[in-house]
């Protein structure tokens, strides 16, 4: 994680060249929002990756259950980083929040729906037996994870590149205006990087055949991710050539660090150095988004219509009093939040294998238990073999699940 920390540190120092237009607290909260978004993409990034890979890496229900349980205790906690990032943006830079969340309403709604359905898929996958039921939720899990990762990349590419916006800082873009080649490349870069990140994460959390397949996936995905990441950052550097020289150079350096980390993750995955590969992958994600934030400053949201309509951080900021109160609350509460999340990861740090879930797969699922109870009641009413006095196992004979059950 050294690369991640150095990327954030360099990004913070790089903002010094534009800090003349910002107060200390405005600069501080812009950096903190960058940290929150980077933390979200590092943690939720491997969640997205695991969600994309469950169907392809798991060969049976026990293996798929093991893969889901690698993120089961933490995925919803990781999404708290998104809530805090959005809340911090609303409180520290309400003008930014207003333009961003109103102008990107439909894309953000699609992201929200993707996050909801993938969360539902984690919970509903094991509620019923049957290949058709579970296969359907596996597709929902994969598509929801893929869409969320893709759309986040598209959204942030548009934020940095600029969107059609008028003098009142109202975004006038349609969703089709946001799907230009540069934004789609940003989405592809985020998607590939998070899929690779998830595969590398699984090399740390699985064992047996699962870890072997995870390593094989990481060896394929990690070098493949470096290509769109490099292409997107090169395009961004060229596109941002009109920015201030200091910010441009520092952002380019951070972007180069992102590419180097992505390449390092690929090399370390090939060498089966799983821990270092995960650190390099996390560093690539942090450096990628840190470079975007440095390129973005001192704007909160550039206008592609006219630079005269750019929404600056200073114009979007809350009052000094609000930022001061937020800073005090953050100093008090942030260590507590980080401590309990670190404790959660420590408790659930052990590797998982399919053998640990074989018995769970054999047990009746909640919905199958309800169906069995209904069959017993129906059999009792008809006087059939399902009555309690009949002595027949309610899960045998005609009432047993079909061959598609797990």
pLDDT at 362: 59
Q: Are residues 315 and 382 in the same domain?
A: no
Distances (CA, A) of 397 to 13, 245, 350, 403: 71, 77, 40, 13
Q: Are residues 134 and 219 in the same domain?
A: yes
Q: Are residues 354 and 391 in the same domain?
A: no
Contact 401, 368 (CB under 8 A): yes
Q: Are residues 299 and 370 in the same domain?
A: no
Q: Are residues 103 and 221 in the same domain?
A: yes
Q: Are residues 393 and 287 in the same domain?
A: no
- Split into its structural domains, the chain has a count of 2
* Sequence-ordered list of residues with C-beta below 8 angstroms from that of 148, at least 6 positions apart, any chain: 48, 111, 114, 115, 118
Q: DSSP states of 57-91 as a string?
A: H--SHHHHHHHHHHHTTTHHHHTHHHHHHHHHHHH
Lowest mean pLDDT among 181-190, 297-306, 345-354, 375-384: 375-384
Is the residue at 38 inside a domain? Answer: yes
Assess whether pLDDT exceeds 50 at residue 375: yes
Percent pLDDT > 70 in the chain is 83
Q: Are residues 289 and 384 in the same domain?
A: no
- Residues 86, 92: Cα–Cα separation, whole Å: 10
Q: Are residues 346 and 370 in the same domain?
A: no
- Residues 206, 204: Cα–Cα separation, whole Å: 6
Tens of pLDDT, residue by residue over 209-255, are 999 999 999 999 999 999 999 999 999 998 887 655 455 788 999 99
Distances (CA, A) of 234 to 72, 155, 207, 240: 36, 18, 38, 10
Assess whether pLDDT exceeds 90 at residue 263: yes
Is the residue at 404 inside a domain? Answer: no
Is the residue at 218 inside a domain? Answer: yes
Predicted TM-score (pTM) of the model is 0.84
Q: Three-state SS across 248-283?
A: HHHHHHHHHHHHHHHHHHHHHHHCCCHHHHHHHHHH
pLDDT at 240: 83
Q: Are residues 201 and 336 in the same domain?
A: yes
Higher per-residue confidence, 311 vs 17 = 311
Lowest mean pLDDT among 14-18, 64-68, 259-263, 372-376: 14-18
Its sign, for the CA torsion 120, 121, 126, 132, is: positive
pLDDT at 34: 96
Q: Are residues 251 and 384 in the same domain?
A: no
Q: Are residues 198 and 231 in the same domain?
A: yes
Is the residue at 117 inside a domain? Answer: yes
Q: What's the full length of the chain, in residues? A: 406
Q: Are residues 141 and 251 in the same domain?
A: yes
Is the residue at 70 inside a domain? Answer: yes
- Residues 272, 218: Cα–Cα separation, whole Å: 10
Is the residue at 226 inside a domain? Answer: yes
Is the residue at 72 inside a domain? Answer: yes
**Where does the pLDDT of residue 402 fall: very low under 50, low under 70, confident under 90, or very high at 90 and above?**
very low
**Where does the pLDDT of residue 127 fall: very low under 50, low under 70, confident under 90, or very high at 90 and above?**
confident
pLDDT at 257: 96
Assess whether pLDDT exceeds 60 at residue 142: yes
Tens of pLDDT, residue by residue over 297-356, are 899 999 988 888 999 999 999 999 999 999 999 999 989 989 988 999 999 888 888 887
48: number of Cβ within 10 Å? 32
Assess whether pLDDT exceeds 90 at residue 377: no
Assess whether pLDDT exceeds 50 at residue 398: no
Its sign, for the CA torsion 333, 334, 336, 337, is: positive
Domain of 349 in residue numbering reads as 2-359
Assess whether pLDDT exceeds 90 at residue 32: yes
Assess whether pLDDT exceeds 70 at residue 399: no
Is the residue at 203 inside a domain? Answer: yes
Phi then psi for 299, rounded to 5 degrees? -90, 155
């Amino acid at each position: 994680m050294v690369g991640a920390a150095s990327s954030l540190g360099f990004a913070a120092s790089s903002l010094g060249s534009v800090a003349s237009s910002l107060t200390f607290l405005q600069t501080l909260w812009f950096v903190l929002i960058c940290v929150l978004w980077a933390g979200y993409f590092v943690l939720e990034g491997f969640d997205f990756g695991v969600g994309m890979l469950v169907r392809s890496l798991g060969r049976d229900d026990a293996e798929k259950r093991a893969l889901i349980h690698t993120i089961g205790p933490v995925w919803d906690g990781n999404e708290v980083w998104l809530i805090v990032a959005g809340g911090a943006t609303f409180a520290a830079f309400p003008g930014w929040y207003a333009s961003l969340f109103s102008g990107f309403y439909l894309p953000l709604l699609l992201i929200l729906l993707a996050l909801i359905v993938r969360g539902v898929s984690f919970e509903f996958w094991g509620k019923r037996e049957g290949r058709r039921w579970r296969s359907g939720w596996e597709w929902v899990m994969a598509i929801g994870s893929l869409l969320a990762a893709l759309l986040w990349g598209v959204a942030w590419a548009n934020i940095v590149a600029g969107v059609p916006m008028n003098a009142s800082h109202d975004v006038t873009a349609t969703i089709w205006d946001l799907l230009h080649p540069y934004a789609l490349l940003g989405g592809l870069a985020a998607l590939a990087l998070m899929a690779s990140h998830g595969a590398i994460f699984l090399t740390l959390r699985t064992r047996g055949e699962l870890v072997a397949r995870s390593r094989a996936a990481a060896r394929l995905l990690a070098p493949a991710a470096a290509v769109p990441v490099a292409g997107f950052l090169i395009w961004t550097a060229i596109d941002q050539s009109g920015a201030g020289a200091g910010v441009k150079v520092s952002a380019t350096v951070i972007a180069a660090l992102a590419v180097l980390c992505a390449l390092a993750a690929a090399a370390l995955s090939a060498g089966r150095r799983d821990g270092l590969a995960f650190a390099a992958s996390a560093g690539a994600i942090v450096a990628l988004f840190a470079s975007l934030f440095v390129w973005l400053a001192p704007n909160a949201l550039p206008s592609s219509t006219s630079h005269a309509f750019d929404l600056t951080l200073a114009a979007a900021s809350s009052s000094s009093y609000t930022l001061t109160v937020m800073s005090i609350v953050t100093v008090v509460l942030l260590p507590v939040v980080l401590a309990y999340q670190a404790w959660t990861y420590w408790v659930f740090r052990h590797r998982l294998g399919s053998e640990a879930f074989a018995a769970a797969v054999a047990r009746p699922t909640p919905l199958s238990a309800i169906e069995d109870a209904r069959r017993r009641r129906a059999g009792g009413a008809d006087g059939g073999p399902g009555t309690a006095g009949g002595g027949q196992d309610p899960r045998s004979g005609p009432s047993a699940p079909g061959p598609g059950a797990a």
